[in-house]
A and B are shown apart, each in its own frame.
Chain A
């Protein structure tokens, strides 16, 4: 126990500020967070759906939880069920074998039902494209609010995409 505490104290806090999402960075993010709270009455909850990715995007989404990006510190939480989620984070070209599962996940998500497509494949089908086994981009299957390009996009880009989706909805 002593060694665990020692290691925690020695490491300190290494979280970095949230990314710039356009106009005025931090103030805006804080404002979004408070509006988010006002609208949703809770933190932003995300259900991640891998619709056929190579798992590269999953690695970078997982990295959002590390102490540097500290996504939970921003009031954003990954949840285990679409029924608890405000936003779907979808990766991969949509494999035909996953098409129905993705539609059902979308149907099970309550409003506001934001969808962020993460990665080259989710945005335009990527190198896999459309084929007998792949439906291509996510928007071929469910409506998409924000695209995050990159193969895979870095954690900050994913975070920026999430914040952009929320801000758009809050403004609308």
Chain B
């Protein structure tokens, strides 16, 4: 497989979704960026990979080895690895931000964690390292289990971009926020109530997930993957397991794939219900919060009854699912889908007929389609700005191949559009769940996963409720069998946080909570 306009042959990875891999040179690295950009593709992820043994054997112990990028085109995912040479401790690669502005924070994170830098990138400020560890200590370079003890340093001031002018002042918010949400810092520059600029500083919940990944055995690491972002635990666990199954060339049983999809759609509904209630509440319509949080609670209790955990954590395991779905749960689940559908339709009517609510939603926090495309806005928020991408529709794998998922899109890109997409997706997922329950194939739910002797590579790509979750996994042989050399877990929040800085422009400060909630991005997922 080739990217049009780029003379590189990609090799297919054995995965249910189309993922291709190739090692490239610095020239090809840059040519690929322009080719993908021209073809209307997107940058999915950028990270520091592990050393490539054949060509960078000398650099293996001292350097990051390679910088990796994953692009999405209509054909699927292209995973590029550019081996880096170690020059006096610093490693450089060509900057991707001219073609893909969204690369900036990913490049800064890779610099903090692995010491590789984008040559000539405009923004070189640290991103995940707030000063808690030395700037010449690169956590992901330390091989394997033995890790040097680091002495925590004092946190450093961050050079925010300042806006100057008559009457401009700053509002600093966080990291500890006023609600029950994750920590992060927002710096607003405002005149009166109007926001002139928002700058985010994230990384507060950075807890070393990618390094921890390399300390876990491959068959246990799905538990950590499921805790990258708790609200997307099913999507992450599936993406990780898909990557591991891809690296080990395991095919899972049909019933297992169907049950995974069942859980993924349940997770999507649970999150959308929570968000719809919170969005109503942020527009001072407390009725919505009471109603939707009640529906969400019913839904979580049903998940617990059927799968043993309210959020379905650890229910997806390498090779399949933890436990089979008892047929006794099917009838009540179908009934609960029908009840929920009636309730959601009724609440949707109430939302649409409520003038005060619509007044707050319409034209608030707008990301126009052209800007969304330029910023690489993805997932549910992307679909509300005409970015019609959904892995379940674009590359349907089992069981989505037989379900013809209808993609929900809107073109307004405002809060109202993101609310509408959520309503559509809840109803579509309810339809999918009922179809899946009716046609659930029989058979086993867990296959054996045989770990490879040598090194192997795998990828997982799943459409979670927020957007696409991508996992790139590299296995190598260790002293106690196969071990994880590198595992990159990518959250769609990387793409969408910067877009939020644009969405708020020209809006008033009191609308920020509403706009922020309409995206509902993960802090933990991008902080890693």
A residues neighboring B (CB under 8 Å): 3-4, 7-8, 11, 14, 48-63, 65-68, 78, 80-82, 92-93, 95-101, 105, 126-129, 131-135, 151-152, 154
Q: Say whether A11 contacts B294, CB under 8 Å.
A: yes
Question: B294–A66 contact, CB under 8 A?
Answer: yes
Query: Quick check: which of B73-81, B175-183, B401-409, B426-434 contacts chain A, the rest being far away?
Result: B175-183
Whether a CB of chain A sits under 8 angstroms from the CB of B290 is: yes
Closest CB in chain A relative to B221 CB, distance in Å: 10
Which chain B residues have a beta carbon within 8 Å of chain A's beta carbons? 128, 130, 132-133, 137, 139, 147, 150, 152, 155, 175-176, 178-183, 203-209, 211-212, 223-224, 227-231, 233, 274, 287, 289-291, 293-294, 296-297, 300, 310-311, 313, 346-347, 349-350, 353-354, 522-524, 527
* CA gap between A87 and B369 in the complex, in Å: 45
Question: A55-B524, A127-B223, A151-B313 in contact; A98/B297 too (CB < 8 A)?
Answer: no
Q: Report B294 CB to chain A, min CB distance, Å.
A: 5
Could you tell me if B294 and A93 are in contact, using CB atoms closer than 8 angstroms? no
Query: Are B287 and A8 in contact (CB-based, < 8 A)?
Result: yes
Give the distance in Å from the alpha carbon of A62 to the alpha carbon of B229 in the complex: 16
The interface residues of chain A lying within 8 Å CB-to-CB of B230 are: 53-59, 152
**Docked-complex contact A56 and B313, CB < 8 angstroms:** yes
Q: Is the CB of A97 within 8 A of B205?
A: yes
Partner pick for B293 among A60, A67, A105, CB 8 A cutoff? A67
Give the chain B neighbours of A14 by CB distance below 8 A. 294
| Residues in A whose Cβ lies below 8 Å from that of B181 | 50, 58
CA distance A97 to B132 in the complex (A): 6
Contacts of A97 in B (CB 8 A): 128, 130, 132, 155, 203-206
Chain B residues lying within 8 Å of A66, measured Cβ to Cβ, are 290, 293-294, 296-297
Cα–Cα distance between A62 and B55 once the two chains are bound (Å)? 51
> What are 12 residue pairs bridging A and B, where the CB atoms are less than 8 Å apart in the complex?
A54-B227, A55-B229, A56-B231, A56-B313, A92-B205, A95-B204, A96-B133, A97-B128, A99-B152, A128-B224, A132-B139, A152-B230
Residues on A with C-beta less than 8 A from B233 are 54, 56
Contacts of B211 in A (CB 8 A): 131-133
Which residue of A has the minimal Cβ distance to B153? A96
The answer on a CB contact under 8 Å between A7 and B137 is: no
A52 touching B207 by the CB < 8 A rule? yes
Contact call A133/B224, Cβ cutoff below 8 A: no
Which of A8, A54, A59, A99 touches B228 (beta carbons < 8 Å)?
A54
A31, B130: Cα distance in complex, Å: 46
Smallest CB separation, A171 vs chain B (Å)? 28
Complex CA–CA separation, A99 to B160 (angstroms): 21
- Taking the closest CB of chain A, its distance from the CB of B215, in whole angstroms, is 9
* B contact residues around A4 at 8 Å (CB): 287, 350, 354
Q: Give, as a whole number of angstroms, the nearest-CB distance from A50 to chain B.
A: 5
Residues in B neighbouring A95, C-beta threshold 8 A: 204-207, 527
Is the pair A3, B350 in contact by a Cβ cutoff of 8 Å? yes
Known: A3-B346, A101-B176. 4 other contacts (CB 8 A): A3-B350, A56-B231, A66-B297, A78-B179
A98-B228 Cα distance, complex, nearest whole Å: 17
B182 touches A53 (CB 8 A): yes
Q: Is there an interface contact between A100 and B155, defined as CB atoms closer than 8 Å?
A: yes
Given A100-B155, A128-B207, A133-B207; A67-B294 close (CB under 8 Å)? yes
Task: Point out the residue from A7, A54, A134, A151 that lies within 8 Å of B347, measured CB to CB.
Answer: A7
| Distance, CA A126 to CA B227, complexed state (A) | 10
Q: Which residues of B contact A52 (CB under 8 A)?
A: 183, 204-207, 524
Please provide the 6 A-B residue pairs with the shortest distance between their CB atoms, ordered closest to farther. A56-B230, A96-B132, A133-B208, A80-B178, A66-B293, A54-B230
Whole-angstrom distance from the CB of B177 to the nearest CB of chain A? 8
CB of B179 within 8 A of CB of A133, answer no
Closest-CB distance, B391 to chain A (whole angstroms): 22
Alpha-carbon distance between A123 and B220 when the two chains are bound, in angstroms: 21
C-alpha gap A129/B223 in the complex (Å): 14
A residues in contact with B203, CB < 8 Å: 97
CA of A127 to CA of B226, assembled, Å? 11
> Quick one: closest B residue to A89, CB to CB?
B180
Cβ distance A153 to chain B, nearest Cβ, rounded Å: 10
Query: Which one of A3, A50, A129 lies within 8 Å of B182 (CB-CB)?
Result: A50
Separation of A119 and B349 alpha carbons in the complex (Å): 38
Asked if residues B291 and A11 are in contact (CB atoms below 8 Å), the reply is yes
Residues of B within 8 A of A93 (CB): 207
A134, closest chain B residue (CB): B207
Residues of A contacting B155 in the complex (Cβ-Cβ under 8 angstroms)? 97, 100
- Docked Cα-Cα span, A67 to B290, in Å, equals 6
- Complex interface: chain B residues within 8 A of A154 (CB): 310
Shortest B57–chain A CB gap in Å is 27
In the assembly, what is the distance between CA of A132 and CA of B527, in Å?
A: 14
- CB atoms of B346 and A133 under 8 A apart: no
The residues of B that contact A99 with a CB separation of less than 8 Å are 132, 152
| Bound: A57/B205 CA distance, A | 14
Cβ of B143 to closest chain A Cβ, rounded Å = 14
Name the CB-closest residue of A to B178: A80
Chain A residue nearest to B224 (CB atoms) is A127
CB distance from A126 to the nearest CB of B (A): 8
Assess the B229–A59 pair: CB atoms within 8 A: no
Find the residue from B182, B227, B289, B300 having the highest chain A CB count within 10 A.
B227
Residue of A61, A65, A96 most packed against chain B (CB within 10 A): A96
Q: Which residues of B contact A96 (CB under 8 A)?
A: 130, 132-133, 152, 206
- CB–CB B208/A63 < 8 A: no
Q: Which residues of A contact B287 (CB under 8 A)?
A: 4, 7-8
- Residues of chain B within 8 A (CB-CB) of A78 are 179-180
Question: In the assembled complex, which residues on chain A have CB atoms less than 8 Å from the CB atom of B224?
Answer: 127-128
Tell me the minimal C-beta distance from A32 to chain B in angstroms.
23
Please determine whether A56 and B227 come into contact, CB atoms closer than 8 angstroms. yes
| A82–chain B nearest beta-carbon distance, Å | 8
Which residues of chain B come closer than 8 Å to A54, judged between CB atoms?
A: 227-230, 233, 524
Give chain B nearest CB distance to A54 CB in angstroms.
Answer: 4
In the assembled complex, which residues on chain B have CB atoms less than 8 Å from the CB atom of A151? 227, 313
List the A residue with the shortest CB-CB distance to B233.
Answer: A56
CA distance A126 to B354 in the complex (A): 45
